[in-house]
Amino acid sequence: MMKKTAGLLMILMLLITVSAGYADDSNSMKEDGFSTSYSYNYDYWGDVQMTPDPYRVLTVIDSSSLGLEQLDNLSINNPQGLFARGGDVYVADTGNNRILQLNLDGEKVTLTRIITEISGAEPATLNGPTDLFADEEGNIYIADYNNHRVIMANKDLNLMKEFRKPTDATFNQSSEFLPSKIAVDVAGRVYVLATNVNKGFMKYESDTSFTGYIGANPVKIDMADYIWKRYFMSREQRAASESFVPTEYENLYIDEKGFIYATNTVFSEWELKSDTAKPIRRLNGVGNDILIKNDRYPPIGDLYWKSESIQYGPSKLTDITALDNEIYVAVDKIRGRLFGYDSQGVMLWAFGTKGNADGAFNRPTALDHIGYDLLVLDGLKNSVTVFTPTEYGQLIYDATDTYLDGDYDRSAELWQEVMKLNANYPLAFRGLGRSMLRQEKYLEAMDYFERAHDRDDYGRAFKQYRKIWIEKNVLWVVLILAVLLLIPLILGRIKKMRWEVIMHEHSKVRH
């Protein structure tokens, strides 16, 4: 009897431990092999360091908070696109074939209007709009996916321009024009990411003429693949394999300076680890990637993952946005995490998780920003989460901004504040080190740079320190050098003399 109870108890305890192991994985992703807190960062060794939260949830915008249910009983359904400018937020409510225009003022959200049709367009109604853009004057660009067009409408929703399938020979005329993501630069040029196009982004001039592609991956010739296809595949197989064309880019964003930030989710693991995949790119006018990567690890989101699978593979960065200070933020749809990088490619913070709580995501689809606030659209939760920086996050931004403005002393003060909140922050050490270097406190600067593993700046500080040290101790240095040089010289002379004396005695004896 005793034995049976003990056995039952053991099984029960085993179950409890196992279930406890599973219970808290909503936040930490234990079976991924790498448990993290909500907010974290990677240190020089790539180890996860927990950090204070850089962002907090300001408000969550969903159908009920907008009062959509009372209005027309159509709650937001599978939203794909998000755009924010000033206080205006546009949501592409793809499932309901409409655009929601909201106004965000602090925590207060009001529904400005619902856009369902563009007068003058043919057809006037939207059909599965996937993305949109609004320029300074309030003109709206809409990627009208299922109507195979990109519409530009003015403030009053009258049709201005229409961008359609190019008649150009470079575009496969047998396939449809399916614009999924769009971005517009200052000159009114429209960049379109279209499904089934693998030549990069399609570029339209402001007069709606198609002028080519930008940012295509250079073609890699795989010898083995070529031989296999050429000699071992039947004609039918070859045709079938060619019709499968993955879209390589996932999303795009045009920053203040007119460069295109793009994310890419089609790659294999080894490409990511050797940094040939480049999941985040910054394309210049001719489509070359000019993203700066000065950190030890390239900007790829999470550095570790268990294996390539739908749920636990490498980060799939589904959207990107660039703040005004060249800090860019990307969102991972696999684990619902946001990653912030500075202009040098150094990770500033990472936070987020999967789940239903505020601040967690089910399937993030789009990301945009207003000032330092971040807006994340969730395609499954049908909501927009608005994040605002915490004191910690704001300090990081302020320190970065003041440094870029050249106010180094103020920047150092701010980094000092950051360090009070997070003593494991390499950027804070580097910022403080630079300030110390400017104040000619070389030894302190060296200490900070060593903590930040900043080799170049350490060298700069150390050179000065060494120079001063030698100037101070020049007497001793010369003395020691002289002694080191003279002692062997004298010893050699003595040996020689002794040898000569011996030889002399020897010769005397012989004679």
Binding site residues, another protein, CB under 8 A: 44-45, 450, 453, 455-456, 458-460, 462-463, 466
Closer residue to another protein, CB minimum distance, 410 or 441:
441
Shortest approach of another protein to residue 455 CB, angstroms?
5
Shortest approach of another protein to residue 396 CB, angstroms?
24
Closer residue to another protein, CB minimum distance, 53 or 454:
454
Q: Are 382 and 63 in contact (CB under 8 A)?
A: yes
Closer residue to another protein, CB minimum distance, 68 or 427:
427
Shortest approach of another protein to residue 42 CB, angstroms?
13
Closer residue to another protein, CB minimum distance, 4 or 220:
4
Reading the block at residue 185, the tokens are 């630069």
Q: Are 152 and 160 in contact (CB under 8 A)?
A: yes
Shortest approach of another protein to residue 460 CB, angstroms?
8
Kindly tell me the sign of the dihedral angle through the C-alpha atoms of 492, 498, 500, 506: negative
For residue 306, which of 122, 27, 30, 67 has the smallest C-alpha distance?
A: 30
Shortest approach of another protein to residue 46 CB, angstroms?
9
* φ/ψ bin of 228: left (φ > 0), alpha (ψ from -120 to 50), beta (otherwise): alpha
For residue 252, which of 295, 197, 297 has the smallest C-alpha distance?
A: 197
Q: What is the largest CA-CA distance in the chain?
A: 131
For residue 125, which of 103, 156, 157, 91 has the smallest C-alpha distance?
A: 157
Shortest approach of another protein to residue 468 CB, angstroms?
14
What is the CA 78 to chain-centroid distance, rounded?
Answer: 24
* φ/ψ bin of 386: left (φ > 0), alpha (ψ from -120 to 50), beta (otherwise): beta
Closer residue to another protein, CB minimum distance, 21 or 459:
459
* φ/ψ bin of 412: left (φ > 0), alpha (ψ from -120 to 50), beta (otherwise): alpha
Closer residue to another protein, CB minimum distance, 406 or 488:
488
Closer residue to another protein, CB minimum distance, 38 or 297:
297
d(CA 309, CA 312): 5
d(CA 367, CA 362): 14
Reading the block at residue 317, the tokens are 């960065």
Shortest approach of another protein to residue 477 CB, angstroms?
12
